[in-house]
Amino acid sequence: MAFLDEHKAKFDNLKVSLELKNRDHLKRTANGGNSIIFSYPPNDEVLYISKAKELFNETDYKYIDIAQLLVKFIDALSFKKVERKYKIFRATPYKVFNSGETSFFNLIISEIQLAQKNNQTAILTRTGTLFGTGIENVNIMEHAVVMGLSTPLILFYPAKIENETLYFLNFKPASKYRCTVIE
């Protein structure tokens, strides 16, 4: 299994990237950004998240499950309202998930802010949930809150890298701008 062969080196690279002495280097390689994309094969997501929770305690790190936040967003608005808005804005789903103070996007940013307030490093998990919302990784990584965090934002990101291109969920080209990628 690829997970067994690759996980130790990947997690070691993540630990090194998070060290205070490497933060300037991180910002330089991330075009001034403050984020780390931790990529892994989509089929191994559960294994990687489980291993992360063994290595990075929940006292110092806040695991933000994007799938749970999507459910929270839908529950707050009602499924019928989200469905109606999605039908209207099907071609521009970003308008459904990033409009108003109670948007899905703002919910994500609020959770990241809460981690910062509690002196925790934010780790976004289950980011595959973003597919179809119009919210791209770069929207999150370029947000002023993320750029101003005292510790880098970590995005657990189901993806492959092929010919130096990052493919979200193994098929959708994704931005590597404003981040360091651990592959």
Span 50-63, pLDDT tens digits: 999 999 999 999 99
User: How high is the pLDDT of residue 2?
Assistant: 58
User: How high is the pLDDT of residue 46?
Assistant: 95
Count the neighbouring beta carbons within 10 Å of the beta carbon of residue 53: 14
Residue 151 and residue 147: Cα distance in Å, rounded? 10
Say yes or no to pLDDT of 14 above 60: yes
User: How high is the pLDDT of residue 4?
Assistant: 60
pLDDT band at 23 (very low <50, low <70, confident <90, very high): confident
- Contact between 8 and 142 under an 8 Å Cβ cutoff? The reply is no
Say yes or no to pLDDT of 148 above 70: yes
List pLDDT tens digits, range 75-91.
Answer: 999 999 999 999 999 99
Closest by CA to 12, choosing from 55, 53, 58, 64, is 55
Residue 62 host element (H or E)? strand 61-65
List pLDDT tens digits, range 106-143.
Answer: 999 999 999 999 999 999 999 999 999 999 999 999 99
User: How high is the pLDDT of residue 20?
Assistant: 80
Residue 39 and residue 157: Cα distance in Å, rounded? 5
Residue 54 and residue 50: Cα distance in Å, rounded? 7
List pLDDT tens digits, range 149-179.
Answer: 999 999 999 999 999 899 999 989 898 888 8
User: How high is the pLDDT of residue 1?
Assistant: 47
Provide the pairing of β-strand 35-40 with 153-162. Answer: parallel
Residue 28 and residue 39: Cα distance in Å, rounded? 20
Domain ranges in the chain are 2-182
